[in-house]
Amino acid sequence: MSASGRFLAVALVTIFSLHGAEEQRPNILFILSDDHTSQAWGVYDSILNPVIFNPNIARLANEGCLLTNAFCANSICVPSRATILTGQHSHRNGAYRLSDALDPERETVATRLQSSGYQTALFGKWHLKRKPAGFDAFRVLPGQGRYWNPLLKGSEDWKDGGEGGRVYEGFSADVIADLCLDWLDEQDRSKPFLLMCHFKATHEPFDYPKRHAGLYQGMKMPEPASLYEFSGDAAGRTFSGQRLETLGERFVDGTFMDYPGEFALEKGMSPREVRSAIYQKFVKDFLRCGKAIDDNIGRLLDYLDTSGLADNTIVIYTADQGYFLGEHGFFDKRIMYEEPLRMPFVVRYPKEIPAGSRLADMIQNIDFAPLLLDYAEVEETGSMDGRSFRSNLSGETPDDWRDAIYYRYWQHQENRPAHYGIRTASEKLIHFYGTSLQSVHDLIDESSGTWEYYDLAKDPKELRNAYAATEKQESVVALKRRLLELRRQVEQLR
């Protein structure tokens, strides 16, 4: 739609909003990015905060509630997205690994809201293989999609795999926001909407629009304390992880993905110098890519304001999981350490949620769908593993709210082994059992693989695996007992 057409539509919407029904159920704008970790938002505690400029994310945090203990149940794209939609753990929704898909027949928050009278749409990254269900309109990237001139598939030109769809010129984040705004212009204002805006950013190769190419030019980015951890031996780490040198090889080789800008390593550089150079390019590109998300969040928020929809619209911005930004010398996600485990999450709803508030309760992505159903006054059928945290957001946490979360990463590679674990407010225990996908009903031998324990109160950056420490044995035994209880509860073990 042209700018003049959009202005006319917004004006008409404003008139309707001022005179429309006051009791309409809330609209929902659910914005999801890929890997946009909390260290890069600028509103969480991060060494990068002095150099981050994300005014629209900050605006949402100032006008809504910032969750400080939100966690995913399986830190990898496909499983996390399936969990967000279904409110179920991976073994319940069938999306264990990257190669899995979401069955279109499965109940999701979108199918439930659509059947209850919501207008529903999805634009951007889908990644769940099968044709999306529960949406009146959608345009989604095939697989990961591409940053520039993205191909997006709709219902009318859907084909499985990488075929079908049409090309949209421009940078993906801008294109996806354009599609969202165009769809909003066309909706019946007498009915509520669910709009899911899913950005491809900030997934590798961390590309960015040309307007941000000069951002951070010539700057030295702050480095995490554990950046130069070249071996996990001193920390007692039991796996090698995805090291920054692997990313550096991809930068230099250029065949794994099409990375922005140029990168070269000089002969004779020390290991520290090599790692620092890789980190500097990586983090600058990541933040430039994230800035494109912030730009378009601003466009969406401005639309809600101008159209008179802001007061009755729940706005959520989150990422499908966190990401390592050089901590322990790593990049990527998957591991049950704090950086990938944490999901940044902010929600604004002026009618209920106090502006500038923070919620420290332990939330998981299994809770997102129940929350949206609760706000939409749609009954939960009992298929979901999570529960609504609507009352928590209003400052009234239920007495029986969880005090521990269960995590399981099912995919297995030698450097990032399959594992499960428990996190409480002050401790974490992880079992890297390290075998390929097993039956959910199998009890894994405790003597298999390796274990890691972290005292988060004393060691929040997880710099020392204290599993074998004499003074921690009582805590380890107690956590093992609780972990087994959670496994039996969540995975319904015999």
CA 152 to chain centre: 21
Q: Which residue has the higher pLDDT, 9 or 358?
A: 358
Closest CA to 385 of 83, 23, 30: 83
Q: What percent of the chain has pLDDT over 70?
A: 94
- How far apart CA 283 and CA 50 sit, in angstroms, is 14
Contact by Cβ (8 Å): 258, 360: no
Closest CA to 77 of 331, 321, 247: 321
> Any idea where the domains of the chain sit in the sequence?
3-209+280-403, 417-491
Say which DSSP state 131 is in: P
Q: What percent of the chain has pLDDT over 90?
A: 89
The CB-side HSE value for 257 (13 A sphere, CA atoms) comes to 18
> Is the backbone peptide bond immediately before 202 cis, with ω within 30 degrees of 0?
yes
pTM of the model: 0.94
> Structure tokens of 98?
């990257």
Exposed, middle or buried, 180 (CB in 10 Å: 0-12/13-18/19+)? buried
Residue 359's DSSP bridge partners are 67
84 pLDDT above the threshold of 90: yes
User: What are 206-237's pLDDT values in tens digits?
Assistant: 999 999 999 999 999 999 999 999 999 999 99
Alpha helices in 30-118 (DSSP H): 55-63, 77-86, 90-93, 109-115
- How far apart CA 109 and CA 14 sit, in angstroms, is 28
Per DSSP, the three-state class of 476 is helix
pLDDT of residue 214: 96
φ/ψ of residue 185, rounded to 5:
-60, -30
5 pLDDT above the threshold of 60: no
What CATH code would you report for 3-209+280-403?
3.40.720.10
CATH architecture of 417-491: 2-Layer Sandwich (3.30)
